[in-house]
Amino acid sequence: MSSFKDPSFQDRAAAADRARQKALDKLASRPAPDAAELAARREAWEADQQRLFAERAAKKEETARLKAEKAAGKAADAEAARVAAELKAARLKPASPEEMKAARDARYAARKARK
């Protein structure tokens, strides 16, 4: 059975130093990218950034459009509630056929606006 001191601390530290130096040598031996390659990478990065910016702007516009539609739907619901209240009040008195048709048309328009 080997002891816990085998390999010694100095041996482990020396092995770590050798591994670190080997990694640094390997990194230093790689050729540096030329200017054309760097320019191509930069252009590709900028194109990706422009695409992401356009996607984010489109998403913001879509969110704003949905909020506007939701607000319009709430306004239509409020109008329908107002019309319903008027109809309820109008039921107390006899309504003319024209008024009944107008009320029915208002309910129909409100229902269509909610969809």
Residue 94, pLDDT score: 63
Q: Enumerate residues 6+ apart whose C-beta is below 8 A from 76.
A: 109, 110, 113, 114
pLDDT digits (tens, 9 = 90+) for 30-57: 988 899 999 999 999 999 999 999 999 9
Checking if the pLDDT of 20 tops 90, the result is yes
Residue 52, pLDDT score: 97
Domain boundaries, the chain: 35-114
Higher pLDDT, 84 or 3: 84
Residue 23, pLDDT score: 96
Residue 56, pLDDT score: 97
